[in-house]
Amino acid sequence: MNPDHAAPPAQPPAAPPAALARQLGLSAAVAVIIGETIGVGIFLTPAGMARDLGAPFWLLLVWLIMALMALCGALCYGELAARFPAAGGAYVYLREAFGERTAFLYGWMALLVMDPGITAALGMGFSSYLGYVVPMGPAAAKAAAMAAILIVAGLNIVGTRQSAGVVRGLTVLKVAFLAFIALMALGLRLGDLGHFTPFVARPPEAGSLFGAMAGGVVGAFFAFGGWWDVSKLTGELRDPARNMPRALVLGVSLVTVIYIVTSAVFIYLVAPQQADSGEAFVAQAGTLLFGASGGLIFAVIVMVSVLSSLAGLLMAAPRVTYAMARDGLFLPSFGRPHERFGTPARAIAIQALLACVLVALGRFDQVLAYFIFITVVFLGLTAAALFVLRRRGGPAPAYLTPGYPLTPLLYLLLVVVLLVLLAGHDPMQALLGTAVVAAGIPVHAMLFRRQAR
């Protein structure tokens, strides 16, 4: 063979894009769960729930039911994270169990609607309480919300370890505030134990117990919402098969204790029947605790709480977009870590920018309402993935769900109950949200399926 006509040497295959570094520990994961889950809801939800339920026992029961649901879900997510210790959380588990299209629909909804919508809601929640400290008009409130979103997003872009430190610090401060409120209320005997009596019997004027329980369960679900987001950080957690299950169980358990104790302290301070709204309830509690400055002090506490939730969300949620891009289901550049910071900078930036657009338009509350139902459907599908993956066999992960199959079955039962309540409350919202997500099927077929292959 003539060497002048020899075939050129084969080119080595292109190296895969760099992955995110495993630099987070157990405490950071627990902080993300507590930080993101406990937002403004803990200050506003207990009053309405207690007033509708009519007696402290039923409020405690609702918290325990939702805690049981969250704990069962956390145990399932723990095994899924141990099986697939990669960034993306539910997106990865749905892909492995049900295929690329189902995972795409979840990721597409999260990217375009849920994550930016929740980010916008948190930003506006922060600015609305900032308005108690620094009075501002509607335009200034929107500017403050966007500034908070962009600053927190920038911190997450600069470094995962740095943003984890911010989340951890804000979470510790938030829990310390709540503990201080409890100790001050009890230590100075500022409340009345008579607010807990009767403990079980409901007043004659109370409405239907079934309706009150249904509303309470939905409210408690929103209060617990977000614990699952930490699984999106599995690809950056050290020893994920061991630390992620522990973080999920520990985080959900601590959130449950904080909710029950804080609700009890608020009822001790103010009888729920004395407040027309959650805001009035908080204002009265603040006055009892801190006098005339109570509203201002509580506004600062709520701002810290909301910032903690915003930091946790912007740290975890963009990992879904990052994982989609690495699978070829989004622009490839979004699946590459930042050359200098090693973070999914583009995924964080697009979530923050879309959230700012929603803040400017002022339509995020209405948009979010349409997608709550389908989001709960995906939560149920994620737990159901455990049955599919176990049936396929293969090597067992380092962590297995305790009580399987009863644990995921109980979780799915509670998910079905929640779906019935949500659909019964507004069937048109549930139907339209589901239809919009289903419209992503042709988008996947036309734009990304060939690229992913």
Instruction: Tell me the one-letter amino acid at 365.
Output: D
Instruction: Look over the chain and give the mean of its residue pLDDT values, rounded to a whole number.
Output: 89
Q: Which run of H or of E encompasses 176?
A: helix 160-187
> Rounded CA gap, 82 and 326, in Å?
20
Peptide bond into 405 cis (omega under 30): yes
Query: Which neighbouring-strand residues pair with 24?
Result: 237
pLDDT of 355 > 90? The answer is: yes
Long-range CB contacts (< 8 A, 24+ apart) of 135-142? 142/359, 142/360, 142/362
DSSP letters for 185-218: HHHTT-S-GGGG-SSSPPPTT---HHHHHHHHHH
DSSP state of 24: B
For residues 11 and 412, the model is more confident at: 412
Q: Note the pLDDT of residue 69.
A: 95
Q: Note the pLDDT of residue 15.
A: 45
Q: Note the pLDDT of residue 449.
A: 58
pLDDT of 406 > 80? The answer is: yes
Range in 42-46, 56-60, 227-231 with the lowest mean pLDDT? 42-46
DSSP state of 114: I
User: What is the share, in percent, of the chain residues with pLDDT greater than 70?
Assistant: 94
Pair 375, 369: CB distance under 8 Å: no
Range in 38-42, 56-60, 264-268 with the lowest mean pLDDT? 38-42
Peptide bond into 204 cis (omega under 30): no
Pair 119, 355: CB distance under 8 Å: yes
Q: Note the pLDDT of residue 1.
A: 46
Pair 390, 96: CB distance under 8 Å: no
Of 409, 356, 328, 376, the residue nearest 106 (C-alpha): 376
Helices vs strands, H then E, count in the chain: 20, 0
Q: Note the pLDDT of residue 407.
A: 97
Question: What average pLDDT score do residues 387-404 get?
Answer: 92
Q: Note the pLDDT of residue 208.
A: 87
Pair 344, 319: CB distance under 8 Å: yes
Of 126, 116, 153, the residue nearest 361 (C-alpha): 116
Task: Tell me the pLDDT band of 17, cut-offs 50, 70 and 90.
Answer: low
> Rounded CA gap, 385 and 380, in Å?
9
Domains, the chain, ranges and CATH? Answer: 24-200+217-452 (1.20.1740.10)
Question: What average pLDDT score do residues 93-118 get?
Answer: 93
pLDDT of 25 > 70? The answer is: yes
Question: What average pLDDT score do residues 198-209 get?
Answer: 87
pLDDT of 318 > 60? The answer is: yes
Residue pLDDT, tens place only, 228-245: 999 999 999 999 999 999
Question: What average pLDDT score do residues 65-87 get?
Answer: 95
Residue pLDDT, tens place only, 152-166: 999 999 999 999 999
Q: Note the pLDDT of residue 132.
A: 85
Q: Which residue has the tokens 């989609």?
A: 324
Structure tokens at 52: 């509708």
Of 387, 350, 371, 368, the residue nearest 80 (C-alpha): 387
The pTM (predicted TM-score) of the whole model is 0.90
Distances (CA, A) of 113 to 91, 361, 368: 15, 14, 7
Peptide bond into 240 cis (omega under 30): no
